[in-house]
Structure 1
């Protein structure tokens, strides 16, 4: 009987490990000089356009015939830009004690400021506020906690500008009892309909409160903001001057140092305006234990209408993103065009792994280019804006890092999505045009005031352009009326939620590309 021994080659077979695939794809990329050169100009484009835009952007304010630097915006305890403007009747309060008062009613007026104001309208804006407050000092931006009756949002407890807790849905015209107590750094707010039965709204801690703070009555009323559709698309925001007046009685402050008396101040007010002199000046009128307090302004964070945000320094990002997506498309379609994809798939029969290796390589390269661009652009461009008299809205270090790393992640995921489209279409022009149509075009249309406001918002919710939300540094606040439109720099989704939408589209495109590669020959 003859025994046949199977032939075994002495040559070791090629390894189909993922690390080898990555090395092979990286080698392919770096050997094409055009791709390397294109990716190398991504960061310089963003840096040059960002610095050039900052250098050409200047701002100043006038003081009569003179041009002077614009006044600084107050900063809250968290470092955010705030509005801190109100009428304040106050008295010192020690480390233990509190204040109780009844708001018997609140009224208001709305008009344009002089000299071109329209007919005066009686009414309250939704976030007109009248109540009691415990504040670190009369300095603008200092820590505080307050309970209040609002124009249309019932009773609220707010503290340190960005925090808001809802109480009962009381009417501004109905008498409402309010109470604040202090125990060291802890402030607790209460409300009552009759002054006998009290319910707790909330309790907050204000670290670092001094032994003596200021407590008292306050009234303020923010501008009446209306956002109207623009004739050519987008929106136009208009603000009207407003004023609120509240009547307080049963005022009781316990824990005041001996010998102290009540004072009243216009916090954050530059002075009495001509309009106020002609109608109803802001201030406090006392009569037999009843106090009538009139004021305007706001105690709240402010948004992008007050200055420049750090993401405005990344104006070149859109151009650079187009370059990144074109390179990503060519990275895969060039192999189809030249027939080299067959060699790739022979070397790695597991087609999904081959495409995943390509995606990881282009994603890492795009991330690196975007990160260098953002890190090198944002800090110096921000300094240039400030040196030119622009007010740059302050953000925390974590937010600044999120904007820069988020920009890099945006580049990376968009590149992976473009690569997946290239593998789906197998034609460079079709894939590149599709990538720009679904990512870049919606972003441009939504922010360029050419579409109705709601259409713009839905584009930034449902298309991959939602990913640009990761660059937004200044949030919108539900307790502040503002022009939260894409044209004003606001996205309808939170930063990471918008980025997740882009990731979802990229993952879907990549899955479809892998499915097509497995079902159809190269």
Structure 2
């Protein structure tokens, strides 16, 4: 518990988590308000999924938050102090990852239910009730995806150690690369089926993912053959695998 308390104090005594949380909430809830307010019940009726249309951009901000939680320590040299005080680097990095992932889980749940709540307030007559398991996953699943996305961002931050480089790589990959891979002739579609954020979209939207338009790179979980449960397991495995690689790298090199 001491390690977790130390990491919590380090995280919350900086301004970047607060700003990133505020931006995430503004984006996700703001987009939900815009989409719902402009929805036409005859041509484009608002749905539970459409209230979450800003989740992809919110996730990009979440990954910035997670990456900065690591790279700023390398930038200012505080990571050396941490490793001197806690020689077990695995425990130190796992504690940081746990605290950041839990924060991102909470932010994700607040933003998702906030977006859904705003949509329901703007269009009280629309069919926005959480009547099925799919509807609940659509909303409550956002926080879970944010948590695992944060783990991916921390892993990248540990390996790259520079804020600009880590953030650029994360944003370019999540917002552009996965969508563009599908354009590769012949093999692009087959590769895209297994891209992690594309698979995460399948977990959130199920079979409706290809039409949801809410993913990081345009929102199409096109061609994913895994079920919703296995999609989450796959995304979690990618996140944990990257973290394991990053911790191994951190153990073998100087802080």
TM range (shorter): 0.7 to 0.9
Taking a change above 3 Å as real, the CA distance of residues 53 and 314 of structure 1, as seen in their structure-2 partners, is same
**Counterpart in 1 of 2:135?**
400
Q: Tell whether 2:104 aligns with 1:366.
A: yes
Instruction: Give the conservation status (yes or no) of the 8 Å contact 2:203–2:228.
Output: yes
Q: CA deviation at 1:437?
A: 3.3
- For residues 455 and 309 of structure 1, the distance between their equivalents in structure 2, rounded to whole angstroms, comes to 31
Instruction: Give the conservation status (yes or no) of the 8 Å contact 1:47–1:377.
Output: yes
**Counterpart in 2 of 1:470?**
203
Taking a change above 3 Å as real, the CA distance of residues 393 and 46 of structure 1, as seen in their structure-2 partners, is closer
**Counterpart in 2 of 1:320?**
58
- Once the two structures are superposed, residues 27-72 of structure 1 have per-residue CA deviations (whole angstroms, 9 ceiling, x without a partner) of 11111123322223322321111111110121437xxxxxxxxxxx
Instruction: Give the conservation status (yes or no) of the 8 Å contact 2:52–2:112.
Output: yes
**Counterpart in 1 of 2:91?**
353
Q: Match of 2:39, SS?
A: coil
- For residues 98 and 130 of structure 2, the distance between their equivalents in structure 1, rounded to whole angstroms, comes to 32
- For residues 380 and 35 of structure 1, the distance between their equivalents in structure 2, rounded to whole angstroms, comes to 24
**Counterpart in 1 of 2:16?**
34
Taking a change above 3 Å as real, the CA distance of residues 385 and 451 of structure 1, as seen in their structure-2 partners, is farther
- For residues 458 and 30 of structure 1, the distance between their equivalents in structure 2, rounded to whole angstroms, comes to 39
- Once the two structures are superposed, residues 331-363 of structure 1 have per-residue CA deviations (whole angstroms, 9 ceiling, x without a partner) of 111111111111000111100111101101110
| More relative contact order, 1 or 2 (CA 8 Å, 6+ apart) | 2
- For residues 150 and 103 of structure 2, the distance between their equivalents in structure 1, rounded to whole angstroms, comes to 9
Taking a change above 3 Å as real, the CA distance of residues 459 and 442 of structure 1, as seen in their structure-2 partners, is farther
Q: Tell whether 2:146 aligns with 1:411.
A: yes
Gaps of 5+ in 1: 1-18, 62-305, 477-483
Q: CA RMSD in A?
A: 3.0
- For residues 317 and 446 of structure 1, the distance between their equivalents in structure 2, rounded to whole angstroms, comes to 21
Q: Match of 2:233, SS?
A: helix
TM-score (norm 2): 0.84
Q: Tell whether 2:172 aligns with 1:434.
A: no
Q: CA deviation at 1:413?
A: 0.5
**Counterpart in 1 of 2:235?**
502
Taking a change above 3 Å as real, the CA distance of residues 376 and 35 of structure 1, as seen in their structure-2 partners, is closer
Alignment of 1:58-457 (within 5 A): 58-60=40-42, 309-382=47-120, 384=122, 387=125, 392=127, 396-442=131-177, 444-445=179-180, 455-456=188-189
Q: Match of 1:510, SS?
A: helix
- For residues 56 and 453 of structure 1, the distance between their equivalents in structure 2, rounded to whole angstroms, comes to 39
- For residues 47 and 452 of structure 1, the distance between their equivalents in structure 2, rounded to whole angstroms, comes to 37
- Once the two structures are superposed, residues 425-462 of structure 1 have per-residue CA deviations (whole angstroms, 9 ceiling, x without a partner) of 11112212222233332455589xx7789835641423
Q: Match of 1:41, SS?
A: helix
- For residues 490 and 33 of structure 1, the distance between their equivalents in structure 2, rounded to whole angstroms, comes to 34
Taking a change above 3 Å as real, the CA distance of residues 378 and 367 of structure 1, as seen in their structure-2 partners, is same
- Once the two structures are superposed, residues 375-415 of structure 1 have per-residue CA deviations (whole angstroms, 9 ceiling, x without a partner) of 1212441564574xx7x587634322222221101111001
- Once the two structures are superposed, residues 195-234 of structure 1 have per-residue CA deviations (whole angstroms, 9 ceiling, x without a partner) of xxxxxxxxxxxxxxxxxxxxxxxxxxxxxxxxxxxxxxxx
Q: CA deviation at 1:489?
A: 5.7
Q: Tell whether 2:252 aligns with 1:514.
A: no
- Structure number with bigger Rg: 1
Q: CA deviation at 1:486?
A: 7.7
TM-score (norm 1): 0.43
- Once the two structures are superposed, residues 269-304 of structure 1 have per-residue CA deviations (whole angstroms, 9 ceiling, x without a partner) of xxxxxxxxxxxxxxxxxxxxxxxxxxxxxxxxxxxx
Q: CA deviation at 1:325?
A: 0.6
- For residues 154 and 177 of structure 2, the distance between their equivalents in structure 1, rounded to whole angstroms, comes to 19
Instruction: Give the conservation status (yes or no) of the 8 Å contact 1:440–1:465.
Output: no
Q: CA deviation at 1:513?
A: 1.2
> Which moved further from structure 2: 504-513 or 464-473?
464-473
Gaps of 5+ in 2: 214-218
Q: Match of 2:49, SS?
A: helix
Instruction: Give the conservation status (yes or no) of the 8 Å contact 1:324–1:366.
Output: yes
Q: Match of 1:521, SS?
A: coil
User: How many residue pairs are counted as aligned between the two chains?
Assistant: 248
Q: CA deviation at 1:316?
A: 1.4
Q: Match of 1:461, SS?
A: coil
